[in-house]
Amino acid sequence: MPKALLVIDVQNDFCPGGALAVPHGDEVVGPCNVLISEFPLVVLTQDWHPVGHRSFASSHPGRSPFESVTLPYGPQVLWPDHCVQGTHGAELHRSLHTHRARWIVRKGHDPAIDSYSAFQENDRRTTTGLVGALRELGVDEVVICGLATDYCVRYSAIDAVEAGFRATVVEEACRGIDLDGSVGAAWDAMGLAGVRRVERVKDVRP
C-alpha cells in the first residue's frame, strides 16, 4: 500500500520573523522539499485561524502568550495571534514545493477550538476528514515532517498511530518551540505511542 507524506504547518508565522516563530523554522523547507519530491502522495497542513481565536492570548484579557488556561475541551496554551485566515503569516512558505500537494488540510478554523493535529481538533472529537481520505487511497503508513515538533507534529504523529497508520517522523525536517523541555517530552510521547523516529531524510524510503 502507498505511503503518504504529511508536511505540517510550514507557514510564514512559524518561520523567522513570524508571529509565532519556531527557532530555525525555515531550516525545514529544504529537507521537506526533498521528501516532497520523492513521495507520490503529499498532504500539506495549514493553521487557519479566524480573528479572535480562543487560543490567542489577546482573547483573554490579562493573560500573556505561553500561559496556560483551561477551555471547555481541556488545557490550552495561549499563543500570540498567528496564522490568521487570509494574512501573509498564514501563507505557506514561498519556497515550499506546494505544487506537488494532493491536498491542503486547513485546521483551527473553529474560533472556539484549537487544532494541532492533522487528523482532529483539540476537542478530540472534531475530525479533519484526513483519516477517511487516506484510507480511501489505501494508505497504511505516513511520514511526517514540518513545524513544530512539540505541538502539531507530535499530535499528528500520535493521532496517526491511534487511527491505525504506521507513522515515522523525520527529525532533520522538523524544528520545535521547546517550551520548558517540550521537544524532549514530545519525542518521548511519540516513542511511547509507537511512532518511529529517523534522523535524516536519506533514511526515509517512500
- The residues carrying an active-site annotation are 9, 107, 152
Give kind and range of the element (H or E) at residue 172. strand 166-175
How distant, in Å, are the alpha carbons of 69, 106, 111 from that of 121?
A: 17, 11, 12
**What one-character DSSP code corresponds to residue 73?**
T
How far is 105 from 169, CA to CA, in rounded Å?
A: 18
CB 184 within 8 A of CB 177: no
Residue 189: count other Cβ atoms within 10 Å of its Cβ.
16
How far is 121 from 107, CA to CA, in rounded Å?
A: 7
Cβ partners under 8 Å of residue 34, min gap 6? 201
Closest CA to 203 of 168, 157, 153: 168
